[in-house]
Amino acid sequence: MTESFADSTLSPALWQAAHGVNVAEDPWPGFARRERRHRRTRLMRAVVAAAVGVALVGVQTNVVPLPGWAPGIAVAAAPTALLDAPPRGALAGDQAWLDTLRARISTDSPLGGWSPDGIWKVGDRDRIRLLYGSDQPGQRVALVAVPLRLGLLSKEALVWYVGPAGAGAEQMRYAGHSEGVDDPVMTLMQAGPDRGGFAVVVGPAESTVMISGDPRYTPRGTLEYQDFARADGSGVGFAVLPPAPLRNEPVVRVSRGDQLLYQGGLGGGPYDAIDPTGPEMDVLLAAARRGARGTPVDDASLRDFVQSALLDSRLPAAGTTVRVRWSGSGHGQAATLLTVQPAGGGVIAYARHGDDRTGWWTDLRLLLPAEGADQRPIGWRIRADDGTRPPTDQVRVIAPPDAARVTVTIGGAPPATVTLDASNAGITRIPPDQPATLTAYSTDGSVLGATPVPPVEADMSGLPGDSPATRVTP
């Protein structure tokens, strides 16, 4: 059979077109090769990640030791004011003693067997530094900066060590520590009821340290402190404490020139407590109500208020005179003005309001000169009764018993009369940012006394008379 015209014409053209098409190879072998390579890569990455994870867990839990010199992630910073200061005290130059202490700290727990979680370890022992070390009567005291490590985390602790005078490094024992505090001061106090004790304060270089005992409120209306600290180098104070219990917690003040760097109590006790049920308190409270005006305050609230005032002023119940000047209500709660006066000292006025359900607020602490204190009008700014308690423009005024009238002078404005009720108390308005003075007059028009209206205290950490806001004497 012969080919048709169509077959003879199309076959070569179709054959040529078919061979001109680029047909790809089978894709499966290539895909399989690439997948095997990817699997090997993923497996290697997983093995490496697992190894790194195990290592990190081991490092972080201190199972796998990390060299002390290796950098870590700092989680707390000790006060640079202390770390940047040169070593102070007689032991600063005793390199052999310090080397022995370093060796002991690096092998033992730096915190005397105690730490927040028990797993922090000493970092680079060569970075253990003596900040202060000296012998005092019967004591050797050292403050040491110790680098700590928890895996990749690091921090620095300031650690106290104490021992007998002249003690070798192996005799020193842990006495306390601090980590990452903001205050540029380290304090240590050790005292007992039957033995003497000591207190040491290390502040920034070139600072002055005061360790004060009981305060003295002078008759002229000023506050004085008995300073029983002895300087032991720049920025260091040391005090020997008596064997008897202290009546009050000593107060530490660290300053540089006129700048107060730190003020706070020196914990460590024990202290003679004020007994609210003691006979001295009973006698004091019985006399406190004499001459009181206004709505009588209940016994429990008065006892609590008086005890609070004695604790705040650091005065004992015995020998102290308390007088309730006025009692009434404020914000729908009991309000009271009383004065506290130590024997032969100035007079401290306290105003308070509140109740047992919502708590009590101190509205005023004001140290007055003893002379004429009973003839002074006293006023304090009323705070808003909300969570922030900002001062309002309302001022409560309590006139002295013999006052016929009281005026308020705001800035350079003419005096304005304050309306008083039967208890000789009243409310006047004074802009919060304006100074004002209250003046009391007798029936013949003569001046009984005048008192400035103090600003609202922003910080009540100090004692009455410590700041201009809590005294009338410049």
- Return the pLDDT at 436: 97
Residue range 175-189: mean pLDDT, rounded: 82
Digit-coded pLDDT (tens) for 415-454: 999 999 999 999 999 998 899 999 999 999 999 999 999 9
- Return the pLDDT at 106: 79
Task: Give me the domain span that covers residue 205.
Answer: 75-265
Last residue of a domain, one of 265, 288, 307: 265
Residues 258 and 322 in one domain: no
Query: What pTM was estimated for this model as a whole?
Result: 0.67
Q: Are strands 447-452 and 436-441 parallel, antiparallel or unpaired?
A: antiparallel
Highest mean pLDDT among 63-77, 98-112, 227-241: 227-241
Q: Is residue 162 part of a domain?
A: yes
If one compares 340 and 457, the residue with the highest pLDDT of the two is 340
Residues 115 and 252 in one domain: yes
**289 has pLDDT over 60:** yes
CA distance 304 to 276: 8
Residues 197 and 155 in one domain: yes
If one compares 463 and 378, the residue with the highest pLDDT of the two is 378
Angle at 378 between CA 362 and CA 297, to 5 degrees: 55
CA distance 268 to 189: 5
**CA distances (Å), origin 100, targets 87, 94, 324, 344:** 17, 10, 62, 55
Q: Is residue 57 part of a domain?
A: no
Residues 384 and 466 in one domain: yes
The rounded radius of gyration (Å) of the Cα atoms in the chain is 38
Q: Is residue 185 part of a domain?
A: yes
Per the CB < 8 A criterion, the answer to whether 275 and 284 are in contact is no
| Count of domains for the chain | 2
Last residue of a domain, one of 213, 235, 265: 265
- Return the pLDDT at 328: 92
Q: Is residue 397 part of a domain?
A: yes
Last residue of a domain, one of 219, 240, 265: 265
CA distance 147 to 296: 60
Query: E-strand spans in 274-377?
Result: 320-330, 333-342, 347-355, 359-368
Residue range 276-289: mean pLDDT, rounded: 86
pLDDT-derived band at 273 (thresholds 50, 70, 90) equals low
> What is the percent of the chain with per-residue pLDDT over 90, rounded to a whole number?
44
Digit-coded pLDDT (tens) for 186-234: 999 987 666 678 899 999 999 999 998 888 999 999 999 888 888 887 8
Residue 449, strand partner residues: 440
DSSP 392-447: EEEEEEE--TT-SEEEEEETTSPPEEEP--TTSEEEEE--TTS-EEEEEE-TTS-E
Residue range 242-267: mean pLDDT, rounded: 82
Residues 250 and 284 in one domain: no
Q: How many CB atoms lie within 10 A of CB 386?
A: 7
Q: Is residue 34 part of a domain?
A: no
Residue range 239-265: mean pLDDT, rounded: 83
Per the CB < 8 A criterion, the answer to whether 277 and 426 are in contact is no
Residue range 174-191: mean pLDDT, rounded: 82
**Mean pLDDT of all residues in the chain?**
82
Identify the sign of the CA torsion 63, 68, 70, 74. Answer: positive
Residues 179 and 321 in one domain: no
Q: Is residue 327 part of a domain?
A: yes
Residues 132 and 256 in one domain: yes
pLDDT-derived band at 154 (thresholds 50, 70, 90) equals confident
Q: Which of 62-71, 280-289, 348-357 has the lowest mean pLDDT?
A: 62-71
Residues 288 and 246 in one domain: no
Q: Which two tokens stand for residue 79?
A: 């006060």
**CA distances (Å), origin 186, targets 86, 101, 125, 183, 275:** 15, 20, 22, 8, 31
Q: Is residue 229 part of a domain?
A: yes
Highest mean pLDDT among 248-252, 327-331, 333-337, 383-387: 333-337
- Return the pLDDT at 225: 84
Residues 242 and 299 in one domain: no
Q: Is residue 62 part of a domain?
A: no
Residues 108 and 133 in one domain: yes
Digit-coded pLDDT (tens) for 35-70: 666 676 666 665 555 544 544 444 444 444 545 444
Residues 391 and 248 in one domain: no
Residues 305 and 252 in one domain: no
CA distance 231 to 200: 10
pLDDT-derived band at 334 (thresholds 50, 70, 90) equals confident
